[in-house]
Amino acid sequence: MKRTYIHYRILFLTLALALCGIKAFSQNVHEGSLKGAPLSERLFFGGGLGLQFGTLTLIDISPMIGYKLTNRIGIGVSPTYKFYRYRNYFGSDLDLKTNVLGGSVFTRCYIYNGLFAQAEYEYLNYRYNDPYASGKLSKDIWSLFLGGGYSQLVGGRASLYLMVLWNLHDTADSPYTNPVVRGGLSLGF
């Protein structure tokens, strides 16, 4: 029960920080206004794809869709699917295989010439078979990321981004080690 209470407090804090950032960055209404802009100019898309093969095999698919509040501030969601296979994790010829489902919500604020700050809340659910336990096991993991990055236009409305985030809820179960480095493609923001 205490973990759930802390979980909701951190989610509330993330949303509050995002709203404070929106208020601070939207003081000059005319500079970043999208008033009257069609929905197609407010939406942005993108995401990331990760592949790794070897002792640890990883397939990561994380599309993204967002909505621009202003020319400099956007909010979005990113559903996630990951497949892990770790050879001989439980012993000789006993692999760990897991499917991870989840997603994240984020706020991204562009500060200056492609530099941006980002706050993100992510929830992941691991499902796997443990040969030493009966049946499938499931584990819920959440993370709170804060950080920033750089976005470079590569043509039209397309850009590549690279960001460095810090997981403020780093636990032994977390799939990440700090800092978390991500890159991807964005269309429209």
Report DSSP letters for 20-45, one per residue. Answer: HHHHHHTSSHHHH--TT--HHHHEEE
Residue 1 has pLDDT above 70, yes or no: no
Closest CA to 149 of 160, 161, 159, 163: 163
Domain total for the chain? Answer: 1
Q: Which domain holds residue 172?
A: 2-50+65-79+99-187
Q: Model's pTM, two decimal places? A: 0.75
**Residue-level pLDDT at 25:** 45
**Residue-level pLDDT at 35:** 76
Q: What are phi and psi of 25, to 5 degrees?
A: -80, -15
Digit-coded pLDDT (tens) for 113-126: 999 999 999 999 98
**Residue-level pLDDT at 48:** 85
Length of the chain: 189
Establish if 90 belongs to a structural domain: no
CA dist 15 to 18, 96, 148, Å? 5, 35, 17
Q: Give dist(CA 107, CA 85) in Å, integer.
A: 32
Establish if 131 belongs to a structural domain: yes
Domain CATH code at residue 176 = 2.40.160
